[in-house]
Chain A
Amino acid sequence: MTNTIDAKILAKMFLAGAKNLESQKEWINDLNVFPVPDGDTGTNMTLTIMSAAKDVAAMENPDMISLCKAISSGSLRGARGNSGVILSQLFRGFTKSIREKDVLNIPVFADAFEKAVETAYKAVMKPKEGTILTVAKGASIRARELADEGCSDLEYFFDEVIKYADEVLERTPEMLPVLKQAGVVDSGGQGLMQVLKGAYDAFLGKEIDLTIKEVKSAPSTKAKAEAQPDIDIKYGYCTEFIIMLSRNFNIKTEMDFKEYLESIGDSIVVVADDDVVKVHVHTNDPGLAIQKALKYGALSNLKIDNMRLEHQEKLFREEQSKESKAEEQKAEEVMPHKEVGFIAVSVGEGINDIFKGLGVDYIIEGGQTMNPSTEDMLNAIERVNADSVFILPNNKNIILAANQAQMMVKDKNIIVIPTKTVPQGITAIINYVPDMSVQENEENMKSEIGNVKTGQVTYAVRDTMIDDKEIKQGDYMGLGDAGILSVGSDVSDVTFDMVKEMMNDDLELISVYYGEEITEDVAEALKTRIEEAYPSCDIELQYGGQPIYYYIISAE
């Protein structure tokens, strides 16, 4: 009978939990209630836990304190999407409670579960039951019961806790009607169960492959240097240069270029200005990066260092921190210091241009299918050289990650305007008045975003029933602020019906942002149709260029 576990076993359990979540992420994605093509929960939770797992995997013989630090800071930085943020807060609370211990027994686990749940509930403004929070709470209640009963067998304890949490998960459809109607259990809760079950398997000694692959994102060198003192040099050459552009380098080429660099290395920084692009990458083949870059223009300021030669770890770390400092300074050179800066999460050429035109300093590429992590927010905040930084998340699933970044930044004043849609974000920044104080602006912007209605048209990824509407895979759906407004098989009809549902007498202006898959002619025809139906309204048509959403429409 085992009654305690040490840091080494806990590390193994954590990695196994992460692996088990990763292996099931597609399945968890499919549990999304809204059949919109985002599939975020599984992906987001996996990216969150993998960010910590990478750090944990790099540790040899971890002690409890450093293990806890790695789990907590890795997952906080990697957190993306609502369930990812909640998961990171669960880990944060859990590790806070156990970091001073050498070994863990049942009473310690019961305390840690409670601390985890308490921390996660606090992180959410309006905690909802029937979600990952409820499942975590179930686990902690059962853990407490077992501890009070004097149970000391960890195997029995884990088994019981998991069984009970599973029962709670099965009951989530009874707590949240949307789950019941869609015929699924809560996806975040399911994700948490995967982590617990994977950890339990490792505890039982099952053979599990614990190699952690690189997470597909671009972590900053600075974060790495902090979180991973015992870093293994995976990519040997630190490569830096500046491209003097001779060809058009738009957001799409920038994404392509970044993707290419990701395929050959990590620690990627690509900063594009009007006519130069600064590039930084760690890779084993600097030649490839240079060859690719030459396609966009001539190169200058080339610098290639063999990082493996600087084998003394101390030296290496000093170099890393110098490098990241130098990068910070360079980033500051790119953006002059301001009092107030803006960050918006956005995707689509047209919408990005609108945000930039309205004064957004930095765009984090992302949105429905691509929730940026807390770390992405932190990097953006660092880049925007301002005393106060407003963040417009523009998606309800990104607000929490932004809030988390806000709490982690101490040297700047970060204000998250909880914009749930692109039109809300546009309204927020339009209402920003430079002459007013940051606080007045915050209040004003928060109240103004309530005055705009949003409708978005996308397609269904599977058959389902929502709000008593039957939806077939491939159908177009018009989503309003509070649910599905229209469904059908013709995108223009669905959009028109959605607008009809959004309208009331007080509305004066309808803005239509058409996506990358809609041609201008089709959009113009829709505009005419709306104009004819609502002659007293101004209709405004803009190219948004966004993926996923054929149309984003606002009415105010």
Chain B
Amino acid sequence: MNKKIAVVTDSNSGITQTEASKCGIKVLPMPFMINEETFYEDITLTQNEFYEKLESGADVVTSQPSPESVMKLWDEILEDYDEIVYIPMSSGLSGSCQSAIMLSEDYNGRVQVVNNQRISVTQRQSALDAKLLAGRGMDAAEIKEFLEKDKYNSSIYIMLDTLYYLKKGGRITPAAAAIGTMLKLKPVLTIQGDKLDAFAKARTSNQGKSIMINAIRNDMENRFGGATADNIWLEVAYTRNKETMKQFVAELEEEFPGFDIVAHPLSLSVACHIGPGALAVACCKKIK
């Protein structure tokens, strides 16, 4: 008889509590410290409230979920399930994966923490893949192994609207930020599993979008075995700018006809580093 496997991720996946309960996934809310007060993503803090606070200049800091909250959630779930596959945000962006691995050592293999360096829409896809694999009869350890092997089969490009938050976070020098702001440069960043890296700069959003489209097509063709609808999930992540997102999705549909394209708000832990107005495209190789 198959084991009963629970798939758990955190709110960086962009999976809302409502969506989670619909597809049978559990989502751990990420805590944010805003002006030294703690909020939980999608529980006590909505996307809109978050951006309002961010734009008003509030001091927004992401933090790791407390060990207590993680273990409490696991313990509750293990009352009904045999094993847990836990997919936290990328270990390149936060220490929460490392902490979770440590905590899981006390669970005798019943909790498998997946270190596959995903974030936002690609982390979301990972959770959905885990659900699919569990349905095929894999146990938690097998799912972990599968997802970790699959970790580099994803790619994200993000275009920023402002350099303010990059400067604030010390990711670029004040001088580079000054000239960039003067010329209205829009940097395009990339996440290849690990961390946020500079990829290119654009002067207009159309330019930026075409840079991202070319880059993602290049990844599909040269790294993921072909730009075809049956091979690739295409994802869009956005921050607040729904109209821009809709237009971008329409452009992608034209560029990649027949593809499954989903759009979700960018997870707040990424948004607080890059600010509102960002637009991202990501792709994951479909599991066969």
Contact = CB atoms under 8 A, between A and B. Distances in A.
Interface in B188-229: 197-201, 203-207
A-B CB proximity, top 7 nearest: A357-B179, A508-B204, A509-B204, A430-B201, A433-B200, A509-B203, A508-B206
B61 to A, nearest CB: 28
B279 interface: no
A538 interface: yes
Interface of B: 175-176, 178-179, 182-185, 197-201, 203-207
A435 interface: yes
Given A430-B203, A542-B182, 5 more contacts: A354-B182, A354-B183, A426-B183, A431-B200, A556-B203
16 contacts: A354-B179, A354-B182, A357-B175, A357-B176, A357-B179, A358-B183, A427-B203, A430-B201, A431-B200, A433-B198, A433-B199, A435-B199, A506-B206, A509-B184, A509-B204, A538-B184
A174 interface: no
B198 A556 contact: no
Contacts, number: 45
Given A357-B178, A556-B207, A435 B198 contact: yes
Nearest to B199: A433
A508 B205 contact: yes
Given A435-B198, A509-B203, A509-B204, A430 B184 contact: no
A127 to B, nearest CB: 35
Contacts of B204: 508-509, 538, 556
A516 B206 CA distance: 32
Main secondary structure of the interface of B (DSSP, over half): mixed
A511 B198 CA distance: 24
Contacts of A426: 183
Contact of B179 (A358, A435, A540): A358
Nearest to A540: B184
A434 B185 contact: no
A540 B183 contact: yes
A296 B189 CA distance: 44
Contacts of B179: 354, 357-358
A150 to B, nearest CB: 65
Contacts of A542: 182-183
A91 B117 CA distance: 62
Contacts of A540: 183-184
A493 B198 CA distance: 41
Given A430-B203, A556-B207, A435 B197 contact: yes
A433 B178 CA distance: 18
A451 B202 CA distance: 12
Contacts of B178: 357
A427 B203 CA distance: 8
A542 B185 CA distance: 14
Given A354-B183, A542-B182, A434 B198 contact: yes
B117 to A, nearest CB: 18
Contacts of B176: 357
Contacts of B184: 509, 538, 540
A356 B149 CA distance: 44
Contacts of A538: 184, 204
Contacts of A433: 198-201
A320 to B, nearest CB: 39
A427 B176 CA distance: 16
A422 to B, nearest CB: 13
Interface in A499-530: 506, 508-509, 511
A426 B184 CA distance: 13
Give the residue among A451, A509, A542 with the most B Cβ atoms within 10 A.
A509
Nearest to A542: B182
A431 B210 CA distance: 13
Interface string A106-135: 000000000000000000000000000000
Contacts of A427: 203
A367 to B, nearest CB: 20
A451 B185 CA distance: 16
Given A357-B175, A357-B178, A430 B183 contact: yes
Interface in A403-443: 426-427, 430-431, 433-435
B86 to A, nearest CB: 32
Contact of B201 (A354, A431, A511): A431
Give the residue among B197, B199, B201, B205 with the most A Cβ atoms within 10 A.
B201
Give the residue among A354, A357, A427 with the most B Cβ atoms within 10 A.
A357
Contacts of B198: 433-435
A554 to B, nearest CB: 9
Nearest to B200: A433
A122 to B, nearest CB: 36
A431 B204 CA distance: 12
A448 to B, nearest CB: 9
Contact of A430 (B175, B185, B197, B206): B185
Interface in A522-556: 538, 540, 542, 556
A511 B183 CA distance: 9
A434 B187 CA distance: 13
Nearest to B188: A433
Nearest to A356: B179
A527 to B, nearest CB: 14
Interface in A235-259: none
Contacts of B203: 427, 430, 509, 556
A482 B197 CA distance: 39
A509 B186 CA distance: 13
B25 to A, nearest CB: 35
A537 to B, nearest CB: 10
A435 to B, nearest CB: 7
Nearest to B190: A435
A128 to B, nearest CB: 33
Interface in A253-287: none
A354 B178 CA distance: 10
Interface string A362-403: 000000000000000000000000000000000000000000
Contacts of A506: 206
A506 B206 CA distance: 9
Contacts of B183: 354, 358, 426, 430, 511, 540, 542
A430 B178 CA distance: 14
B236 to A, nearest CB: 21
A16 B199 CA distance: 57
A267 B179 CA distance: 35
A354 B204 CA distance: 18
Contacts of A435: 197-199
Contacts of A508: 204-207
A553 B97 CA distance: 50
B173 to A, nearest CB: 10
Interface in A476-509: 506, 508-509
Give the residue among B175, B176, B200, B206 with the most A Cβ atoms within 10 A.
B200
Nearest to B178: A357
A354 B184 CA distance: 12
Nearest to A511: B183
Give the residue among B178, B179, B185, B199 with the most A Cβ atoms within 10 A.
B179
Nearest to B211: A431
A523 to B, nearest CB: 15
